A and B are shown apart, each in its own frame.
Chain A
Amino acid sequence: NAGVTQTPKFRVLKTGQSMTLLCAQDMNHEYMYWYRQDPGMGLRLIHYSVGEGTTAKGEVPDGYNVSRLKKQNFLLGLESAAPSQTSVYFCASSYLTVGLSEQYFGPGTRLTVT
């Protein structure tokens, strides 16, 4: 049981390049989330998904797209990377059931855009 995994762990992009971050969970969780963490800012929600085939915008969705084609995977895409997207990205997942609501976080992806 690997929990929540993220690929890649580190990445350096040039401005304008595109990339996809992959999040995978093996806990059969319905809900999945993408957050970004910047120094002094805490974690901020980018997008989330309440089930396969569904996605919704969070607090800071601009410049990102997401897809949830399979229940266990949640992809975060950057179509044209900007230096402002330099951050640590965390994926999380949780159960649908109230009372089993802990969000389990992945190890993070450190992205630098130059």
Chain B
Amino acid sequence: GENVEQHPSTLSVQEGDSAVIKCTYSDSASNYFPWYKQELGKRPQLIIDIRSNVGEKKDQRIAVTLNKTAKHFSLHITETQPEDSAVYFCAASKQGGGADGLTFGKGTHLIIQP
């Protein structure tokens, strides 16, 4: 089955700096890659997703890049703010819409230092 590796497990950055979280996947048939943000005690919430026919997608301060050949994708957050502090999860799915469920990475705890 699919295996998703996520790095780093903890990332501390100064407020205003950029943060980058990287994930690799094992199954070349995977074609849908969402990123979720989870605040302490809350449910995961989708922040951005990308499909395998696109190399990059941007939404304000958040961007995701996908390299299908290398089977890795990354989350980029620019101009970080205190409210960006949370755990971020990458995920992958083969069914485009995630119909067969998502395989998640183990998460990155992002800490924004004031």
Contacts and interface: CB of A to CB of B under 8 A. Distances in A.
A2 interface: no
Secondary structure of the A side of the interface?
loop
Given A98-B97, A101-B96, A42 B106 contact: yes
A101 B106 contact: no
A41 B106 contact: yes
What is the size category of the interface that chain A forms with chain B?
20 to 34
Contacts of B81: none
A107 B43 CA distance: 5
Given A96-B99, A97-B97, A98-B97, A43 B46 contact: no
Given A41-B106, A43-B104, A44-B104, A94 B97 contact: yes
A45 B49 contact: no
A43 B89 contact: yes
Contacts of A58: 101
B45 interface: yes
B37 to A, nearest CB: 11
Interface of A: 31, 33, 35, 40-45, 48, 50, 56, 58-59, 90, 94-103, 105-108
